[in-house]
């Protein structure tokens, strides 16, 4: 992969790590681990995110989807990218499609609302659609040749060639 591919991979790696931080913040305060409560309060105070504060049922369903589907996919994608796993493209497609779908539902509600924080929230949520699209595009790019793992020696590294 060329320089553009390396930049895309670096952006996606950063994005996957950010999902690992963001998803737990969207979980209702009552079930958050105690040490994350200050982050939750800071986020809701700064953003006035009415979806997180009011907890509409559709949003809570999407948060459970993110917790039990996107969060594990982010972990898998980090591992797959760092170790050059052949299934990385597939998990990118799954991750990107789910992220675009859930974020579109949230943005639809935000843009249709008359809440004072709607403009700020739209700016906060919209990059996730671009991130989802970038992840889908990355999943569609075929691997050329043998991918070099960032960590480890890749699949089959313990196999020795017969002489």
Q: In this structure, are residues 73 and 96 in contact, taking their beta carbons and an 8 Å threshold? A: no
For residue 163, the model assigns a pLDDT of 44
pLDDT, residue 92, reads 94
* Cβ contacts of 42 within 8 Å, gap of 6 or more: none
Look at residues 120, 11, 103 and name the one whose alpha carbon lies nearest to residue 62.
103
Q: Where are the domains of the chain?
A: 3-140
Range with lowest mean pLDDT among 69-73, 78-82, 119-123, 152-156: 152-156
pTM: 0.80
Tens digit of pLDDT for each residue in 26-60? Answer: 666 666 666 666 777 777 788 788 888 888 899 88
pLDDT at res. 47 = 79
Whether 160 shows a pLDDT value over 50: the answer reads no
């Amino acid at each position: 992969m060329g320089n553009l591919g390396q930049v895309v991979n670096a952006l996606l790696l950063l994005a996957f790590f950010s999902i690992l931080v963001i998803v737990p913040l969207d979980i209702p305060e009552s079930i958050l681990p105690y040490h994350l409560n200050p982050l939750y309060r800071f986020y809701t105070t700064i953003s006035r995110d009415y979806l997180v504060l009011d907890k509409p049922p559709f949003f809570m369903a999407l948060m459970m989807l993110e917790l039990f589907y996107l969060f594990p996919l982010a972990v898998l994608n980090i591992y797959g990218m760092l170790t050059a796993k052949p299934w990385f493209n597939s998990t990118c497609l799954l991750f990107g499609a789910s992220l675009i779908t859930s974020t579109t539902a949230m943005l639809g509600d935000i843009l249709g609302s008359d809440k004072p924080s709607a403009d700020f929230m739209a700016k906060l949520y919209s990059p996730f659609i671009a991130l989802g699209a970038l992840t889908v595009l990355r999943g569609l790019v075929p691997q050329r040749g043998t991918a070099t793992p960032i960590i480890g020696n890749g699949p089959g590294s313990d196999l020795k060639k017969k002489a």
